Structure 1
Amino acid sequence: MIRLKILLVFLSFLLPAPLFAAELIVDDPVIVPARVSEVVSQRSEVLPGLHIERTIQTLTLIGNGEDNKGTFYTLENDRAVLEKGDRVWLAIRTNTLGEESISVQEIDRRVPLMLLFSVFVILVIFLSRWQGVRAIFGLLASIFIIGYVLVPSLTKGHPPVLTASLVAIVISIGSMILVHGWKNSTKAAIGGTVIAIVCTSILSYAVIIFASLSGITDDASVYLSLSQGVKLDLSGLLLGAMIIGVLGVLDDATITQAETVATIHSANPKATRYELYKQGMRVGHEHISALVNTLALAYTGAALPLLLLFSYSNQSIGYLGSLEIVSTEILRILVGSIGVVLAVPISTFFAAYLYKGRN
């Protein structure tokens, strides 16, 4: 939020000075990988008026990408304290006057990300065997659909609500069939998930209108709204994010309930549909409370730095809760929780109907 305010203040100074601003307009930076070959110098200074100490380094880096391999760069860095051998991403920007500037854009975290992902894959496959392999393929397929279907569709201006809902349904159906196979529990879970997604979509749409949410809640949404050539419905994008965000929890809730009914039916084949549903919902009650708590803690954990920032504010709880950046997260929790609460009894009902109907 502080960065957002700084950005808006900065833009307010630029708008009255078009000639000066023209010299500062830059194209999208060229991002290249590099490695620190030498820390030439390092000094500390205190930002005036803020009493914040920052470290400024003079670095020599060598490119290690396909297009810049062996290229040397010398620059000043105040983004993070780096050491020899550290890998980073450099941003090369060129203004309208042809002047080039190079800065450290981000730390290169590909190695730790790949190592942790490898540990995750190994554990899943070791503990779940072939079903774990199918689960990994399902995860990769979901990421592929989001990256190559959902994101391009949104950038082309397709309705975000309908697009996100359809993508969520396709992902849930595809991943469930791939991981669990085509059986009665899968059919029941798919039915419960699809209905819950539709209900969540309708509820999200109503909440966004009723709460007057604009979708501008962070730096990314501000950049999208200011980007030239990008026409996005940010409130609809927020709605789509709510739908995709709750999808994983819905899948877990529905497939677990359907398998629970399948297990009860296997132990007592003579149980009626009502008995299957009633016994399945005994587990469902516990499942609902656990999933709602999980969903709330997941969103709260993601917003923890924001909560710490607000803890220093003297404003009332009512005002802080009305801030869009806060109310959006609260509504995400509530909409997702309602979707989960609806998914559990629906999938349990479908499972009880299918398993009793089979005999």
Structure 2
Amino acid sequence: MFKKIALFLLLLLLLPTSSSAQEQPKEEMFKARVIEIMQQEEVIDEAGSIIQQDLKLKGLEGNFKNQEIIFEGINDWQILSSQVYKEGDKVIVSYSQDIEGNDVFFVLDYDRSSPILWLTIIFILSVLAIGRWKGLRSLLALIASFIVILKFIIPQILNGANPVMISVIGAIIILIFAIYFTQGINKKAHIANLALIISLLFTALLSFWFTKLAQLTGYSEEASYLMNINQGNLNLQGLLLAGILIGTLGVLDDVIISQVSTVEQLKQANPQLSNRQIYVRSLKVGIGRYPKFKTPCPYDIIGI
């Protein structure tokens, strides 16, 4: 069973990421360094003031390594979250071509790879120190999850595929692989996977309904820029739903695995308990755990 799951995951990762026979515009993201602030202006409108900059950059990797690039940041795109850069800053640059074949560069943000690398090392060492072999399996499952997201979910969405369908498929692959890899192939893992798939599908339907009810579009000024460089292929509302689904994976995994483990331990502690008694007691445990997940929700909404 485990070999079949691993083979299925591998085959999905090898699938071509293009959803169209037409050739897509060339796209690339790379690191660059700011070597000159060519021009800087303060733009004031009803929403406040922002600083826009024209920058001269030097590519640090990829096809643009050691090449000088001009980023024209002084334009009509009023992005309030835009950063103010100085000479020597390392940044992440997005390159694409528009419909007419013109090169389009956009500075996305600072390059934060160094601090993220140190945080990752600390996280890995902590997991290994506490979890030992089970912690190692969890890390490998996490890596596999990122592979599915980066090699399957994101490319398919960027190529115009249905974000909700792709996210559901990707999430199911992630959950099945992660649970069997960390918990082993046993009855507990089978039940957990079934419960997770049902919960994920229910979450997808509920999210879709409330998104339509609340008329959430996923549109923002940054999103409109992405629509521009992707020739309008992105379904922003679907992308919003996809983000909701991916965001629920951790909570669903934690809650359901904990609840299945509770039922298993109750049965082992007292085999004389009837199914109804086990259900009632495990339900009380779940209800007791519920406030832990409910309380942060208002703070998350306020934070967003």
TM-score by length of 2: 0.70
Alignment partner of 2:265 out of 263, 266, 270: 263
Q: RMSD value over aligned CA atoms? A: 4.0
SS of residue in 2 equivalent to 1:231: coil
> 2:112 matched to 1:109?
yes
Q: How many angstroms apart in 1 are the aligned matches of 2:28 and 2:51? A: 26
**Structure 2 partner of 1:65:** 61
**Post-superposition offset of 1:40:** 9.4
Q: Which amino acid aligns with 1:285?
A: I
The answer on whether the counterparts of 1:193 and 1:254 sit within 8 Å (CA) in structure 2 is yes
After alignment, is 286-295 or 100-109 more displaced? 100-109
Alignment partner of 2:123 out of 115, 120, 123: 120
Q: How many angstroms apart in 2 are the aligned matches of 1:124 and 1:109? A: 23
Give the direction of change, closer, same or farther, for the CA distance of 1:171–1:300 in structure 2 (3 Å limit): farther
**Structure 1 partner of 2:151:** 148
Give the direction of change, closer, same or farther, for the CA distance of 1:46–1:95 in structure 2 (3 Å limit): same
**Structure 2 partner of 1:197:** 200
> 2:161 matched to 1:158?
yes
Q: How many angstroms apart in 1 are the aligned matches of 2:277 and 2:56? A: 72
Alignment partner of 1:80 out of 78, 81, 84: 84
Q: Spell out, residue by residue over 1:307-340, the C-alpha distance to the aligned partner (whole angstroms, 9 max, x if none).
A: xxxxxxxxxxxxxxxxxxxxxxxxxxxxxxxxxx
After alignment, is 200-209 or 241-250 more displaced? 200-209
SS of residue in 2 equivalent to 1:271: coil
Give the direction of change, closer, same or farther, for the CA distance of 1:244–1:74 in structure 2 (3 Å limit): closer
TM-score by length of 1: 0.60
**Post-superposition offset of 1:231:** 2.7
Q: How does 1:1-359 map to 2 (within 5 A)?
A: 32-35=30-33, 63-65=59-61, 67=63, 79-80=83-84, 82=86, 86-89=89-92, 106-213=109-216, 215-227=217-229, 229-301=231-303, 303=304
**Post-superposition offset of 1:72:** 6.8
- Gaps of at least 5 residues in structure 1 are 1-26, 304-359
**Post-superposition offset of 1:232:** 3.7
Q: Which amino acid aligns with 2:273?
A: A
Q: Spell out, residue by residue over 1:164-191, the C-alpha distance to the aligned partner (whole angstroms, 9 max, x if none).
A: 2222222211111111112232222212
The answer on whether the counterparts of 1:44 and 1:53 sit within 8 Å (CA) in structure 2 is no
Q: How many angstroms apart in 1 are the aligned matches of 2:244 and 2:50? A: 39
The answer on whether the counterparts of 2:31 and 2:93 sit within 8 Å (CA) in structure 1 is yes
Q: How many angstroms apart in 2 are the aligned matches of 1:239 and 1:40? A: 39
The answer on whether the counterparts of 1:55 and 1:81 sit within 8 Å (CA) in structure 2 is no
Give the direction of change, closer, same or farther, for the CA distance of 1:61–1:124 in structure 2 (3 Å limit): same
The answer on whether the counterparts of 2:37 and 2:87 sit within 8 Å (CA) in structure 1 is no
Q: Which amino acid aligns with 1:65?
A: E
Q: How many angstroms apart in 1 are the aligned matches of 2:134 and 2:281? A: 27
Q: How many angstroms apart in 2 are the aligned matches of 1:135 and 1:268? A: 30
After alignment, is 100-109 or 135-144 more displaced? 100-109
Give the direction of change, closer, same or farther, for the CA distance of 1:106–1:164 in structure 2 (3 Å limit): closer
Give the direction of change, closer, same or farther, for the CA distance of 1:83–1:133 in structure 2 (3 Å limit): same
The answer on whether the counterparts of 1:30 and 1:93 sit within 8 Å (CA) in structure 2 is yes
SS of residue in 2 equivalent to 1:216: coil
Give the direction of change, closer, same or farther, for the CA distance of 1:71–1:139 in structure 2 (3 Å limit): same
**Post-superposition offset of 1:228:** 5.1
Q: Which amino acid aligns with 1:271?
A: L
**Post-superposition offset of 1:35:** 4.3
More helix by share: 1
The answer on whether the counterparts of 1:216 and 1:222 sit within 8 Å (CA) in structure 2 is no
- Count of equivalent residues: 271
**Post-superposition offset of 1:227:** 4.4
Q: How many angstroms apart in 2 are the aligned matches of 1:264 and 1:181? A: 20
Q: Spell out, residue by residue over 1:2-52, the C-alpha distance to the aligned partner (whole angstroms, 9 max, x if none).
A: xxxxxxxxxxxxxxxxxxxxxxxxx98976534467x899x9986678996
Larger radius of gyration: 1
The answer on whether the counterparts of 1:164 and 1:243 sit within 8 Å (CA) in structure 2 is yes
Give the direction of change, closer, same or farther, for the CA distance of 1:54–1:234 in structure 2 (3 Å limit): closer
**Post-superposition offset of 1:281:** 1.7
Give the direction of change, closer, same or farther, for the CA distance of 1:138–1:63 in structure 2 (3 Å limit): same
SS of residue in 2 equivalent to 1:154: helix
Give the direction of change, closer, same or farther, for the CA distance of 1:191–1:75 in structure 2 (3 Å limit): closer
**Structure 2 partner of 1:313:** none
